[in-house]
Structure 1
Amino acid sequence: MTVRRATCVFLALWSLSVQAETPRADSASALSPAPRKQGVRASEYAADLLQLYREARLEDPRVLAAHARAQSGRERQREALGELLPQVSASTVFSRATRDDDADRSSYDTERYSLTLSQHLYNKAAWESYQKFKSLARQGDSEAEEAQAEAAIDLAQRYFVALASDDELELVMAERRATQKNLDRVNALYERQMAVITDVLDLRARVDSLAADEVEARNQVRLSREELAEVIGRPVQERLSRIREDIELQAPRETLEVWIERAIAANPGLKAKEDALAAADAAIREGKGGHYPSLSLNLSALRSDAGYDNSLTSRYDNYTAGIAVQVPIYSGGSTSARVRALHSDRTSAEQELEAMRRQLLKETTSAYLTTQSSVDRIRATRNALESARKSTEAAEKGFRFGVVNAVDVLTNVQNEYKARRDLLKAQYDFITNLLVLNRWAGKLSGQTIESVNVWLARSDASRDAKRSAAR
């Protein structure tokens, strides 16, 4: 009978191990480039930062609106260019006239065809208008690039907030399990009158507090996923890829001066302000062009059989070539007033450029220094976690031997999980600040996101490792 039971237990354990291995194979195949199988829930897949970034580029309304404005600016530039090119028009008139006088009444048809070409030879206002819209088109392109970078930073921040929410829920649950385990142990000792009631009450209060924290953590998980869904345009139910355990996060090796030079040379926001200033200068020149004469060439061809007073004549052709000169003399002072207003607009654009330059220096310096300090912070929090883990193990051993009371064990457990939270937060802050640094330096692109995405695990191995460590 004993052999039979052992055999049954062995077969049951073997079948469970086979069933446990099957989802892992399915998960690995789901992460491969092969097409996904129908009927598998989306929550079984892992979404990484690069995947969500690509989706956000196609779905984020802020990015789409910025690109639409840039396209509008390019079309307005083309519209302004059209004012400088030849203007050709053609017209045709068919008419029927009836002439009635004392001697006779007659009706006849007339035809009139005309072709006209006009070309500016000198028109300062039209030329400067084209230069203005050309600068505005460049400004729109730079603003679209800036909007894309800003949206990428926002997505990364929401992504790591969602990861932090998941971490908080798992850590709260793990701390609650550990505290409950100690509470059960103290309850057993208390029943044997080997522990005091204050230890039982302290542990029970902590378990109840962690239960409330777990409810709040679950709510934060849902809220963080909704924030991601706002950017992506769909519910985000997949597991989020986490930071790998086998990598070492390193700060940029270039100096702060190098990053500032890059930012001044390539930041799209700064370029947009420079283009806005150039557009304001062109607008002033356009306004002053209202004081300049204009010169144009006019060519026309006419074929008609209608004479004076729409009378019927034999068909004739008329060709005309002329040079038109228009000299503005007085417009009531509106041209001068417009130029003065444009000077004020230029001053505003110049001050906005200076404000943007100062913000660029501040944000680049802040992101660089924070990134550098984050590496040391990660190293310090990792050492603190290791020390807290050893302290917890020592406190639990001391409690079993009666050297340490339950409150001391509770304090060590709290310190350990606080160190875990600090380490995860330090890692997320480092990556976020690194992306912010690249954003202000004008280097944030899909390639940058892809480089950061390498630090994220493509499977659930990191998630399982964190869960096992939390336990």
Structure 2
Amino acid sequence: MQTAMTRTRDTSRGFGHAMAQRSRPRGVAIRIGVLIVFTLGPVQASHALGLADAYEAALQHDPLYAAAAQEKAAGDANRAIGRSYLLPSLSANYANYRDWTRTTYLDSQNGNQSINQTYHAYSAGVSLRQPLINYEGLARYRYGKAVALASDATFDDRGEDLLVRVLTAYTDTVFAFDQLALASAQTTALDEQLAVNEAMLRSGEGTRTDVLETRAKLELARSDVADAQDSLDNAAHALDAVTGVPLSADVAKLDRLSDAFQPSMPSPAGFEQWRDIALDSNAELIAERHTVEAARQQLEVVHAGFYPHVDLVASIGQNQSNTVDIIGQRYFTKAAGIEVTIPLYSGGLVRASSEQASANYQKTQFELQDETNKVLLELRKQYNLCVSSLSRIRALQSAVDSATLLITATHKSVQAGTRTNFDVLSATQQLYQARRDLARARYQYMIANLSLRHAAGILTAQDLYETARWFTPPGALTPIAKAGAPAPVARQAHAM
């Protein structure tokens, strides 16, 4: 950049003092273009934090993901809970106490007689119950499995969602940092432009209109800097919350998106194929289907209230003086047999509960239909965004190239007297906006690509690692940054 500026000054001297004064706005305008072109270039920083590093940190620190893991653990417990209704139950009991008893013998002829007794009593035993025919237990077992599978699918969805949230927070922060750098560079360049305009006005070679135009652009640029600072602070703290890494104090450690990034068409190319994949693999839909099955099994649990239970029971125990009839006697008892329980009437509880469970079952079916519609709508939205981003990025890249060349052409026109200071400022603003929109479009494509795979239910950590390859550590020049727009500007200045 210094070489380009030196050439501009040497060339201007060849036209004499008056031409040198006229070329000063042109030299500053070239610096505006150079600053903006290089603004999105790398920033020197040590210990760069890459996108993959941010994801690894989020796995350990993101509270939503941690909560999802605990929710999964709670859901998995339903398997054991449901299975317990089909397994035998074993219990033991023991009691040891001292009794004081007063017994009165009724005798109408000789009168009542009473005897006071004090004695030691105890009982101990072990009992076993094994369900043989238990429709309710079978339904509860299936219910527990369905709930556990739903929680597993929900956890898978939270894992995919974490990948999208990490990429979103990371790119939002990098984009905000780039915009702050662009706005700051534009402000610096416009400060110098204003100084030149004021100097030319004092020497009688400039106009007050040029000064006012530049000052107005400068104030707008300062406003952009303030907005960019707010956006960067908000985005950095959002990234802090996801990763648990305090990055808000030094966002320059984040990797930058390479200018060599090239988006590609989603594969498979057709939306109908994506639709079929989503209906089969989307984790939210899988969770909803298991929720519907759980509601159906809950209905079966209630229906079991109409059916008898058959259990195998066995017990062994020893008793001593535990009733007044066997004071001073000890019994050792073993028992085994079949126990049948037949429900007859429960005050309408079973019927009312059945109606309630049936309504809940139908509700989950409607919720599944609604979730399916939402998933397919989100799928189409992200698919369209991916496809449209391809042409948008190509158009914006062309706009950046054209805006860079426009600055050089405008310098020549100002030199020839056919363009004004306002045209230089407009061309500079156009380049600034084109680079900003190009960066935003690239990040939007990245997020849309991962969101598309998330909606289809096939997003994995490997997809994020593949995306991370397009980011380069601070200090590493990208191919396009090495051969950026300043070279043509410098050659045009030398030709003048």
Tell me the TM-score normalised to structure 1 length. 0.85
Question: What secondary structure does 2:301 align onto?
Answer: helix
Match of 2:18 in 1: none
Change (3 A) 1:168 1:435: same
State the 1:234 CA deviation: 4.2
Q: 1:43 to 1:461 in 2, by over 3 A?
A: closer
Please say which of residues 93-102 and 122-131 is displaced more in the overlay: 93-102
Kindly provide the CA deviation profile for residues 296-354 of structure 1, in whole angstroms up to 9, marking residues without a partner as x: 11101112343642745464421111211111111111111111111111111001101
Query: Once the two structures are superposed, what CA deviation does each residue of 1:395-439 show, in whole Å capped at 9, x if it has no partner?
Result: 123223433210111111111111111110111011010010011
Partner Cα separation in structure 2 for residue 401 and residue 178 of structure 1: 22
Tell me the distance in 2 between the aligned counterparts of 1:272 and 1:78.
19
The within-5 A match list for 1:49-448 is 49-97=51-99, 108-236=119-247, 237-238=250-251, 239-254=253-268, 255-306=270-321, 308-309=323-324, 311-313=326-328, 315-448=330-463
SS in 2 for 1:118: strand
The 8 Å contact of residues 263 and 440 in structure 1, kept in 2 or not, is answered as: yes
Encode CA deviations 1:246-282: one digit per residue, 9 max, x unaligned: 3422122312222212111111100111011001111
- Please identify the structure whose Cα radius of gyration is greater: 2
Letter in 2 for 1:124: Y
Deviation of the 1:43 alpha carbon: 6.8
Residue type at the aligned position of 1:444: L
1:106, distance to aligned residue in structure 2 (A)? 6.9
- Residues 42-70 of structure 1 show CA distances to partners (whole Å, capped at 9, x for unaligned) of 97322122211222222222222222122
Quickly say closer, same or farther: Cα 1:122–1:405, change in 2 above 3 A: same
Distance 1:117 1:470, change over 3 A: farther
* Alpha-carbon distance in 2 for matches of 1:467, 1:217: 26
Structure 1 vs Structure 2 CA RMSD: 2.6
Work out the CA distance in 2 between the residues paired with 1:240 and 1:167.
Answer: 11
Asked if 2 retains the 8 angstrom alpha-carbon contact of 1:243 and 1:462, the reply is no
SS at match of 1:194: coil
CA contact (8 A) 1:67 1:141 kept: no
Residue 160 of structure 1 and its aligned partner are, at CA, apart by 1.5
Q: 1:286 to 1:103 in 2, by over 3 A?
A: closer
Q: CA offsets, 1:204-245, max 9 Å, x none? A: 221122122212222221121111122223421342211123
- Residue 70 of structure 1 aligns with an amino acid whose one-letter code is K
Whole-Å Cα distance in 1 between the matches of residues 410 and 402 of structure 2?
12
User: In the alignment, residue 275 of structure 2 is paired with which amino acid?
Assistant: I
1:343-377 CA-partner distances (Å, limit 9, x unpaired): 11111100110111111211112211210111121
| Identity rate, percent | 26
Distance 1:412 1:103 in 2: 118
Q: Secondary structure at the match of 1:115?
A: strand
**Whose RCO is larger (CA < 8 A, sep 6+)?**
2
Q: How far did residue 176 of structure 1 move?
A: 2.1
Gap regions ≥5 residues in structure 1 = 1-41
CA distance in 2, matches of 1:180, 1:396: 18
Counterpart Cα distance in 2 of 1:464 and 1:414: 25
